[in-house]
Structure 1
Amino acid sequence: MARPAMFLIVAELSNKMFYAEIMVEEGAIQNISNLFTTLQAINITVDNSLLIISQFSITTGLVQIYAPNETICYDSTQQLSCTMNDPSFDSCSWKLTAGNNVYALVNGTEVLVEPSCSLTLLKTSQIWQGTYNCSFSKGFITHTASATLDIALLPENIQILSGPQYPDCSVDEEKSLQVNVTCTIKNSTENYTMSWSFVGTSGGLNSSTNANGFISNSVIVSVQCKSQSDIIVTCQYINRKSQQESANLTLPVIYMGTPVCQANGDWPKAKASTTAQLACIGERVGMRTRPCLSTGSWGIETSPCVNRDLNNILQDTYSLLKGRGSPESIASDIFGRLKNSTNSTVSINTYANINASVTILQNMNNASANDLLASSNNILSISLKNSWTELTSAQSKNSSLSEQYLMSMEGLITKTHINISESLPRCKYANVELVSQAAEKNSSIKVLNASIILPEGIVKAVAFSTLSELLPTNEDTTTNSIILSVTLQNSTLKNDISITFPLINSRPRNYEIDCVYWDFTSSQFSGNGCDWTYTGVNTEAVCTCNHLTSFATLMSKHPISLKFQDEITYVGLGASVCSLTLCLIIEFLVWNTVVKSNISHFRHTALVNISLCLLLADCSFLASSFLSINHSNWCPYLVIIKHYCYLAMFFWMLCLSMMLLHQLMFVFHQLRKKVYLTFSICLGYICPLFIVILTFIAYQNGKENYYYSSETCWLVYEGTLKGSIYAFIFPVLIIVVINFLSMMVVITKLLRPQVSDGSKADEKDITKSILKAVVFLTPIFGVTWILGFFVLTIDLTEGPLAFFINYAFIIVNSFQVRDALLKYFIST
């Protein structure tokens, strides 16, 4: 007798769907099927209304499904397959009905779908239990068959805890403690056979509860304090196929004399060399852990607590990776839920929640653009910065969370169709901005204030304002711009791309900018194919690259160093120190011989003080050059000494110039030794002392990075007219100008001698020798430092000229004392 088959006819009327079932004999199925296959739709008039039949389904009769019909083992490999008599139906698909949910089955980590309509489950578990439907489709006809898979389940996670967590026998070793041990598993349809086993104790009363989707089994065990033996409690679950899963707990009993960590906050008193656990509270899942070290001190807490709604989304994406559900069908739902879950940054401000959110993005292959950007923006909030970096030692071995985020976003933006209108070609949030538009040749596109100039094409660019702070860099550089990912849709880059980045921090003088991109192969920034163009603007960086990817700028943490500058400085200063020492020794030896008048006394007094100040300053300079990190506390004292001694040197030069000027302007007025010594000491030592003291007070009482820099062990230069260095530059500049003006007056006076000066020939010869000293000393001690002013204003990144000026300053300044003294002694 022929078997009846059933047609399911789906009809549409006024946006409403109607269903009708038609029973036909099996022999007529093929003919009716062939008829429906040739039609796009059938119009039927029912009660004067037009029904448009757009879908037909034969649910039985042609498809055979082969699946295990008995209970199968947990964690086993199973195969299902479907066949159909009509070979023209070559399109096969699988679906799983679990409860009220229907999932499309695709290739994943636990599912293999073959074109021959066979399905292989690589690892049977709870998510694969349900009714499997295979469907063959052609045109508007779909033939289906179904089978139910019964899996003998096992708990995927058994949580075993004791209460109290640390039974305390340290007070009275004669007493007996009653400890409640609980095993908790997720609720399931499997009727487990549950049992307890004990080592070192025996079990008492046991109980079972079922609440909030979890089954908890508890038992009371007795702890005899004086026995001090290990107590091990094991709970075991056995399924219908006699498979078993167990968990055991060694009770961490605190005996008398046992090292402990004292109670701290909500952490209980704990036994040393163990790890304490606390359940996450509120709407968060997971267990907090904190090690109690062997020293009796608490270690760092690890808190993998994840918001329950985020955890549910995460588990859904894990199921998606396994093959249960297609990305196209659930992407919108996943990202919609993720957007809602991340709307409040206060509720997700932990590393665990950030990690879960990034993992969700990483697991998805397709998405809705608005929800994707909204949820991506939320987890980049500044308030979550610390949560991104809360890495444990185990987590730090893996690729960084920020790199995973960037990789996921790049893939999602590239693969996802972005629905942005032509009138509003951008989707902007506080931390993420996406631009997708057609660009003309060499036109400029702005994304988060960064400008992009590239050849014509459809440009898709996404910028991340805070991600640069999260991506790791090497020890010598730091990110100084947004992260900008640029792609061309359906085309390749033929010419270089130019990007102008606004810098987060202005570039200091002599600091290089590196234009880089993120290399996912090496998990670090790379500069291959990208160059920085110097423009003189310190608030932006112009980068030119020959490829497209995620770009950024890195700024060096240290200024450009000149080769051999230290060696030249040490040699020059060493020669200067030796020359100054020799000068002072010679002055001491010939003092009584050469000092025969007041003016000669003043000349040699000034030279001795200039030499002495410069000797102390150079020695301090050399000492600061050899300071190690361990002795960096000497740096502020050496800066004060250098600041004071260099200023005193110039002020004594000013004394020399002023006395020379006075001597030639007032020929018949000779200053007494006491007067000019008092004047010189006040001008040469008191004035620079006041300048140093006022500068020290004005710059946060000598605070580091205000008055001095520990890196250079010298005064701070912050920019034009900014920094304590100007408390040295301005006095020196004024003195140099006054010295030159004095020389001009003196030279003019000497070129027009008066008759009355004839009686003072000897004095005039001495005056000329003073002039020689000033003429030789002022250009060397003055012009050299003017060259140093140019060093402060010229950037080493500008090119060869900057290097020439810097080397000239180093060489001339290092050897200035030796040259000055040589010329002076030769002239005398």
Structure 2
Amino acid sequence: EYTIDIEVSLMDSSFLEPIKDYFKNLNLPVSTNISNVEMTVSNINITTVCLPSGENNSCCSCEKGYAWPSAVCSDLITCPSVSLAPDLPCGYMKEMPFYGPYCEPQTEEPIVMNMSVRLDTDFREDLRNSSSELYKKYKSDLEKAFNASYRCLPGFVSATVTGFRPGSVFVNYEVKAGAASFDQIANSNKIVPQFLDALYRLNQATFTTEITNETNFTVSPADIFKGDTVRLICEINSTSENVTWYHFDQIISTSFRYSIERQVSRRTSRSILKIFNITMKDSGSYSCAFTKSNQLYTLIYKATKTIAVSLLCITTNSDDTSVTCNSPEMQTNSPLLSCCIDRHLPSLTGDWKVNGAINITGKINKRFSSENCTEYKLNINESLCPPEKSGTVTTYTCELQTGHGARSSQNIRVTYLRTAHVTISSSINSSVSEGYAFNLTCESDVSNYDSISWKIQSGNNTKTVDCDTCIKNSTSPATSVLTVKTATQDWNGTYFCTFSQKNLESSANVTIEVLSLPLKQNILIDPIAAPIQCKVQQALECCISANTMEDYNVTFVVQQNGFQVGKKKGENSFCYMYNYTEAECSKEKELTAYCKFTNRIGQEVNSESIRLHLIPDKEVSCSNSLGIGIEGSTLKKPCRQPNNTDDFTRGNIIYKCSNKSWKLERNDCLSVEIKNLLTSAEVTFMSFLEAKANLPNYLAELKEETGKQQSLINCSANLGAIVTILDMVSSIPVDAEELTIQNFLSIVDFIVADSTTEAWEDLNKEDIPKSSLLLHSVENFSLRLQPVNNTIPPVSAKTLQLQGMVVTENSSTDYNKNFRSKENLTVNVLIGETEIQTLQNSTIVSVMYSKLGRILPRNESEYVNGLLITTTVSSNRSQKFYINMTFAKRNLSLKMPQCVFWNFTLDKDRGGWDTHGCTPTEVEDYVICSCNHLTSFSILMSPDKSSQVTFEGYITYIGLAISILSLAACIIIESLVWKYVTNNTTSYMRHVCILNIATSLLIADIWFIVTASINDQNQQMNRGICFVATFFIHLFYLCVFFWMLSLGLILFYRLVFILHNTSKTAQKTVAFCLGYGCPFVIAVITIAVTLPRNNYTRKDVCWLNWKDSKALLAFVIPALIIVAMNLFITAVVIIKILRPTIGDRSNRQERNSLFQIGKSVAILTPLLGLTWGFGLATLIEKSHQAFHILFALLNALQGLFIFVFGTLWDKKIQEALLKRNSMSKWSSQQTKVRSL
């Protein structure tokens, strides 16, 4: 098959189109025979057409689908435009005759050149709409011009307008052609205006071509990770000095993160962009633009690539794993750690690092080529994992590097555990009796445990010991002690103690057998207390339940003597009896007896004591089956069921012998229902094993029974039993379910009803008042509430309300709860945000009581004048805790509000109201209490006594006023006559003492009368001021006594040691140290010892506390000692003065001074002794009112006595005053004479 070029010459160009049509319409193939050669013409195509242009030249052009060969493109000269019509293809000048080369078929895909040019006309909105007439006109005109001008480009196909954009008017168009040179395109641009109307105002300098498919754009590496150094390479087959890089639309310049390198050769241009330490923000589109331009044309080669930057993510076979060091399996098959990535990277490398207290290393195994993982096989060595380090975490870090700068690491935490060696020991051998205590100690050589659990297995039944109060865990050493205070059959079985570390458990076990032994409260005695007659048998009986199978050794012990007993089995009980006869009948006496039960391991329990009162030689008035007794005597018997004397119940019955018969005095027997509930509580909650699970159902049952048995609750015995039950269950943690809380509060509601008032009066007479125990029970219950769904539900009963809050780690709100009783009394509890932030992961619960506060014991003169509120916090806090409560007053006529809390430890644990740590602020009908601790709070107030000034008050105020005036006069007179009366040592020291006595007493009396008047007016004094006032009253009254002692000692010294002479300075030093030093030391020690416990002063007045701290002794003891010494010195002085002398006396003036001292001390000392002696009498409870009046009178007039007997009766002072008065008159007369 051949291709033949044939040139056809025509003399007339008008034949060109007909010939073209002829060839197009020729039916091919055509066969012919030329020179005996058979030939078939299969295809005829016109490739090149030449038209004359001048004498020896022609204008040649290629037909559609044909183009000039690239070898001759550079030699072709374009035909003049004037010789070529706009609708004809481009032609090139050729000399005639034309011998080729001819146009060839186009085989390469045309290049799309995106070009633009600007029209310097205003942009119109219609140019945005491709269907508008303006758009169509612009498009048509411009495309004609572009096609006419660009047709001369090699391989030209078409020129198409693609759109318009503002900025004047920018025309975007596409030119499809072969590979045209820069000059060819520029020349084509140059002739565009020739084919376009001048009204378009085409700007020839704005022709721009953007070629997007002739740039080779490569990126290395192909997978890019954060931290890599990335190379972006753009290369074109053209020379260009100017290249610009873009990230999105931002131009990239050389910096510490970017470098741009250019490489230009003869035919190519290359630009390399390096991005150092690439980040995630560097992801996105990158463009390179090579630019070549002249005044008429700009050519841009542009390419764009989008790169994605990934994190070098490492996945491990386990982020957190545990290894048991001393496990045989681990010794033979050590664990394998691995780090992998999600793709294949040939240049990936890896390394491992070990960091931890246990330095167990391993061996690296690289497998990058196939799996892209690095593996690390641990070499487990038990010696490197001692028990004390069990639970230690070692961190293994694998680091992978891509080879291009990116690196990433991942930690694998390996917790090295060791199977613990656990031992368990018991405080008993293997057996214990019911009612006895025992403890089990479980110890592990591994101290870093996560948890410890105790379980008891008895047969096929396994129970978990869930008792916070029974189990105490510690870490140094790792021990857990299970303490069972009262063993029951529930504690019988095999104990398993398990230490857990993550998923590793180590345990030990021991078997404990609990043997039967009756509990003390379950041994019923008969009688409980009874009179017995001399040498007459008295039947003593002890009974226990018949359910036991143990055969006890039972003895009766009377007055420390043991006796064997007889045994009788009843339907429901075993009873042990002994007939006791008292032989020693000389006098009445009290005997005690009890029965002792001993089981087979020798453990024993004693019953309650039977009190026997011997009545010798007395005529028996009452005698029947109950017992014997004289008139007025009482008999206490156990409670038995009326229809079954073999069936005992809890409580007792008291009979009184009256008119020769036993009459029922008091019945304290528990009802059967309450007794059963109490017994059930003892069995269920004494063991604590499943107490938490059983508590909700038990409270529901107790609430139902107490609601039914309201009349029985009015009995003090039943009421006391219910309080005992509540106290028992309050120590058990319970979920804060609304129904459980409601049941508990309702039970309290029932037992504080108005009908129980008399029963509470009896119960409050016990050693620990039951009302205090009830309050303590509610506090305990609220403290142990465990949140459900992170909430404490608000619950209300008739007389109680409960609200609470769970404090989480990020809690930042106040605890602000409001309560309102049915009597419309309110109380608000406020704990500030600052305090709340210290209580993370804890609960706050407040309980309001409207009746319980009135049941608690109180002083007769003080009343609970508001609601009672309890607030508890579950977290343990040693520092102070600030809380504010606002109470509405119940009775507005009461005065002197005190913020009080119930202190359970006062009065030998009987409890009482205490003001420690609370400050009241009275605001109209409310009292605001600010306290620094938590418990149960209320306000105490007293009747208004401001108008009830007593006779003692009048005596005190009048007497102190006289004393203050007298002491002031005494000080003034002493200062006036000082130089006249201090002319010898004895007189000098005497007046120093009197002056300091007067000064100290004056200051003390002023402090006393101010504080007393405030207290009598029922005005609230700031506690700080009260402390200061008490300190100074205490100090200066002590100064009075110690200066009196100084005066007595000086007198004693001058009388006894007559020939001994001591300097005035030495005597004065001793006197001042004694007069002020000793009182100051005593006063400071007193406040230092008592103030921290807030019992320095009394609650009602500003004076030393007596009831709580006995601080008053710091005044009474020194005062009484000094009074006693002064009495002794006075006696010595009187004896000395009255003793007859031999020979001449000493200097008369000295004798006169001694006589005056003796007289003063003889008068003052008895007064002081009597005054404070009567003061001591006032401290005695229920002392006679006369002692109070006499003490007030003598004490109030003490200043007057000092002024009269110590100053005015002193002859020296009298003479000095007369002398001073005479000199004053003489001086005034001399003045008059001089004036005359």
TM-score (norm 1): 0.46
Whose strand fraction is larger, Structure 1's or Structure 2's?
2
Higher relative contact order (CA 8 A, sep 6+): 1
Q: Larger helix proportion, structure 1 or 2? A: 1
